Amino acid sequence: MTLDELILNCKKQDLKAQEELYKKFSSTLFSVCLKYSRNYHEAEDNLQDTFITIFKSIEQFKGKGSFEGWMKRIAVNTVLQKYRKKRVYNLTNEEQIEEEVEVEIEDNNIPLDFLLKIVQELPERYRLVFTLYVLDGYPHKEISEKMEISVGTSKSNLARARKILQTKVEDYNRENEER
**Quick one: pLDDT at residue 93?**
44
**By C-alpha distance, which of 143, 118, 114, 113 is closest to 128?**
143
CB 43, CB 30: distance < 8 Å? yes
How far is the C-alpha of 168 from the C-alpha of 80, rounded, in Å? 25
**How do residues 48-84 score in pLDDT, each as one tens digit?**
999 999 999 999 998 888 999 999 999 999 998 888 7
Ordered domains of the chain (ranges, CATH): 3-86 (1.10.1740.10), 112-178 (1.10.10.10)
Whole-number Cα distances in Å, 26 to 34, 85, 166: 12, 25, 32
The pTM of the full predicted model, rounded to 2 decimals, is: 0.72
Rounded to whole angstroms, the Cα distance separating 49 from 8 reads 21
At 97-134, the pLDDT tens digits run 444 444 444 455 788 889 889 999 999 999 999 999 99
pLDDT value for 170: 92
